[in-house]
Structure 1
Amino acid sequence: MRPCPCVEYSETQPIQYEQNLANFMGMDIYVDERVFIPRPETELLVKTVAEMVSLKKSGDEKYLFLEIGTGSGIIPICISKLLPESRIISVDVSRDALSVAKRNIERLVPDSDITLFYSDIFSAVGDIYFEKFDAIISNPPYVSSKDYEKLDAWVKSEPKIALWGGVDGLDYYKKIAENGMKFLKKGGLVGVEVGYDQGLAVKKIFNENSFSNVKSFRDFNNFDRIVIGWKHG
């Protein structure tokens, strides 16, 4: 992971932390040292998944999303704005992050149907949700051990738990791919953000776990940044 142009830095820490403010999809998001600072690449994730879900769905039933690793809450907030008929369950392993997400959700989308759970990926999402979700969406930690050591000190001021994705940076994709299928409806999809050099590896992980039509989408720097896979059958 490399710092992106939207994140400004002082000598000691990102200015977003100093101001407790980040901009995402035209909204002012509260951030502090407990959460990852939103990046523009995640806008592509939100818009791509929302568009694909809306194309495949019909009728009056609510869209049901599972978001893994909510951080500041930007993903469920934006999904609820793009698809107001959505119901979203968002989970995070950090209680601090959930506190920030709650603050942003209550301020920006107070009438939304968003539920926050303390959960390590799927641990708090019980079997009552098997084959219930239209989509699983996540911007998980994806920095490898090698790349983490190379990060600027300013980036390392962000929570390591939101950055580091295991030795190869792929731990969370493996867990999502291995367990996500049973939570998706037939025709449901999984959409994840990936590191700039991880597109092929993540597509391989989802293909190996029986997802269909696995595709990647490029960001404004022409890197594979979003991977989408479908549950068919």
Structure 2
Amino acid sequence: MSEHILKATSRNVAGKGASRRLRRTAAIPAIVYGGNAAPQPIQLEHEKVWLASQNEWFYSSILNLDIDGKVEQVLLRDMQRHPFKQLILHLDFQRVDATHALRAKVPLHFLNQEKSPAGKTSGVVITHELNEVEISCLPKDLPEAIEVDLADLAVGQVVHLSDLKLPPGVELPALKQGKEHDVAVVIAKHAKAEEVESAAPAAAEVPATKAKKDDK
């Protein structure tokens, strides 16, 4: 597990008006909650957080949140973005307890797809039904991503959740809910041939009626 540090400062004023004033100073209002401590309003520098948010680890890793010199381990639980501006409006962080299992969504990294039998077969479409999965583990075991090696993927094969190779200490809560939750992750199948409608044959021209010969 990599170390990712975000610096923040505590704030005493809450409310929409205070949050708007913070944003005008290029800061992001945020909240830290969970554990045995009370929720704590904080603020972070927008530019630094924006750069961090361009990385996959920002959403799926345990973050070391330095609040006024005191470091807490947290997970990002919610991010509010401006509908069209490159602007983060608010962040929610949840405190992490090293002794308790947590649930988090982590991305799937698909490897060796092009080298697989299915990837080398013409006319085969490989679809990724999932791009992330929810896992359960202790904080120390949280992976930034789960690799899915498709080197042996064959035509017609379906890779299910239960086929994923998980790091030690990591579980998939969905699999405990029954076989119907063992959903497909990757499917390799032949592309459906598009039905090409053949042009309808042009109607045969009706031959012109021959003029009747006059009776002699």
TM, length-normalised to structure 1 = 0.24
More helix by share: 1
More strand by share: 2
TM, length-normalised to structure 2 = 0.26
